[in-house]
Chains A and B, each alone.
Chain A
Amino acid sequence: MMKMTMPIAASLFALFAAAPAWASCDDELATLDTKVQAQATKAVATSGGGEGVAAKRNSEAMASRDSAAPVTSGQAGPAGGAKETQATTQAAQAGGSGDRVMQAKASINEARVAKGKGDEAGCMAAVTKAKGQLND
Chain B
Amino acid sequence: MTHDHSYSGMTADTSDVGQIVNLSRRSLLGGAGALVLAVALPNVAQAAGFGADGMPHGWQDSPKIFVAIAEDGAVTITCHRSDMGQGVRTSWAIIIADELEADWAKVHVRQAEADELKYGNQDTDGSRSTRQFFMHMRHAGAAARMMLIQAAAKQWGVPASEITALNSVVTHTKSGKTLSYGALAKAASDLPIPARETVALKDQKDFRYIGKGKIGIIDNVPITTGKAIYAADTRFEGMFYAVIARSPVFGGTVKSFDAAEALKVPGVVKVIQIAAPSAPVMFQPLGGIAVIAKSTWAAMKGREKLAITWDDGPNAKYDSAVYRAELEASARKPGKVVRAQGDVDGVFAKAKNKITAEYYIPHLVQAPMEPMAAVARIVDGNCEIWTSVQAPQAARTNTAKALGVGEDKVRVNVTLLGGGFGRKSKPDYVVEAALCSKVMDGKPVKLQWTREDDIHHGFYHTVSVERIEATVDDKGMPTAWLHRSVAPTIGSIFVAGAENELPFELGMGLVNTPFAIPNMRMENPAAPAHVRIGWFRSVSNIPHAFAIQSFVAELAHAAGRDPKDYLLDVIGPARQIDPTSIGDVWNHGEDPKLYPIDTGRLRKVIETAADGIGWGRKMPKGSGLGVAGHYSFVTYTAVAVEVAVDDKGAITIPRVDIAIDCGPQVNPERIRSQMEGAVVMGMGLALTAEITFKDGKAQQNNFDGYEITRIDAAPKAIHVHLIPNPDYAHVLGGVGEPGVPPVAPAIINAIFAATGRRIRQLPIRNQLSA
Contacts and interface: CB of A to CB of B under 8 A. Distances in A.
A116 B491 contact: no
B282 to A, nearest CB: 4
B49 to A, nearest CB: 6
Interface string A31-67: 0000001001111111111111111101110110000
A98 B503 CA distance: 7
Contacts of A60: 494-495
A81 B56 contact: yes
A48 B425 contact: no
A84 to B, nearest CB: 5
B394 A58 contact: no
A37 B337 contact: no
Contacts of B50: 44-45, 49
A98 B583 CA distance: 9
Interface string B45-63: 1001111101111100100
A3 interface: no
Nearest to A74: B278
Interface in B28-56: 44-45, 48-52, 54-56
A73 interface: yes
A134 to B, nearest CB: 12
A76 B491 contact: no
Contacts of A102: 338-339, 503, 506, 511, 583, 585
B230 interface: no
B585 A50 contact: no
B283 A76 contact: yes
A77 interface: yes
A41 B585 CA distance: 7
A103 B337 contact: yes
A94 B592 CA distance: 16
Contact of B580 (A41, A52, A78, A81): A41
**What's the interface size class on B, roughly?**
35 or more
A1 B606 CA distance: 60
Given A49-B132, A83-B58, A44 B338 contact: no
B397 A52 contact: no
B583 A59 contact: no
B422 interface: yes
A71 interface: yes
Contact of B123 (A52, A76, A84): A52
Given A44-B50, A47-B54, A97-B502, A75 B585 contact: no
A62 B491 contact: yes
B591 to A, nearest CB: 8
Interface string A99-115: 10111011001100100
Given A49-B52, A77-B282, A78-B283, A54 B502 contact: yes
Query: Which of A42, A60, A62, A76 has the most CB atoms of chain B within a 10 A radius of its CB?
Result: A76
Query: Which of A49, A60, A76 has the most CB atoms of chain B within a 10 A radius of its CB?
Result: A49
A2 B333 CA distance: 58
A68 interface: no
Contacts of A19: none
Contacts of A106: 337-340, 521, 583
A43 B278 CA distance: 29
B583 A43 contact: no
Query: Which of B56, B339, B340, B521 has the most CB atoms of chain A within a 10 A radius of its CB?
Result: B56
Interface string B230-265: 000000000000000000000000000000000000
A70 B400 CA distance: 23
A49 B502 contact: no
B219 interface: no
A53 B343 contact: no
Contacts of B222: none
Given A45-B48, A45-B49, A50-B126, A103 B398 contact: no
A50 B128 contact: yes
Contact of A58 (B425, B503, B590): B503
Contacts of B422: 51
Contact of B56 (A53, A59, A94, A103): A53
A106 B539 CA distance: 25
Interface string A112-134: 01001000000000000000000
Given A37-B580, A47-B504, A54-B126, A75 B280 contact: yes
A77 B52 CA distance: 18
B767 to A, nearest CB: 31
Given A41-B580, A79-B393, A109-B342, A52 B284 contact: no
B391 interface: yes
Given A53-B56, A63-B498, A48 B589 contact: yes
B586 interface: yes
A83 B56 contact: yes
B181 interface: no
B503 A55 contact: no
A84 B48 CA distance: 11
A87 B340 CA distance: 28
Contacts of B281: 75
A99 B54 CA distance: 18
A83 B346 CA distance: 47
Contacts of B521: 106
A11 interface: no
Given A56-B494, A81-B56, A84-B56, A50 B592 contact: no
A62 B490 CA distance: 13
Contacts of A83: 44-45, 56-58, 61
Given A40-B585, A48-B56, A84-B57, A76 B282 contact: yes
B394 A59 contact: no
A56 B505 CA distance: 12
B54 A46 contact: yes
A86 interface: yes
B690 interface: no
B691 to A, nearest CB: 20
28 contacts: A37-B580, A40-B580, A40-B583, A45-B589, A47-B586, A48-B55, A49-B54, A50-B126, A51-B123, A51-B126, A51-B535, A54-B502, A58-B502, A62-B498, A73-B279, A75-B281, A80-B397, A81-B56, A84-B56, A94-B585, A97-B585, A99-B500, A101-B583, A102-B511, A102-B583, A105-B339, A106-B521, A109-B341
Interface of B: 44-45, 48-52, 54-58, 61, 121, 123, 125-126, 128, 132, 278-284, 336-343, 346, 391, 393-394, 397-398, 400-401, 422, 425, 490-491, 493-495, 498, 500, 502-504, 506, 511, 521, 535, 539, 579-581, 583-592
Given A50-B126, A113-B343, 15 more contacts: A43-B503, A44-B584, A44-B586, A48-B56, A48-B589, A49-B126, A51-B535, A52-B123, A60-B495, A77-B494, A79-B56, A83-B58, A87-B48, A99-B503, A102-B339
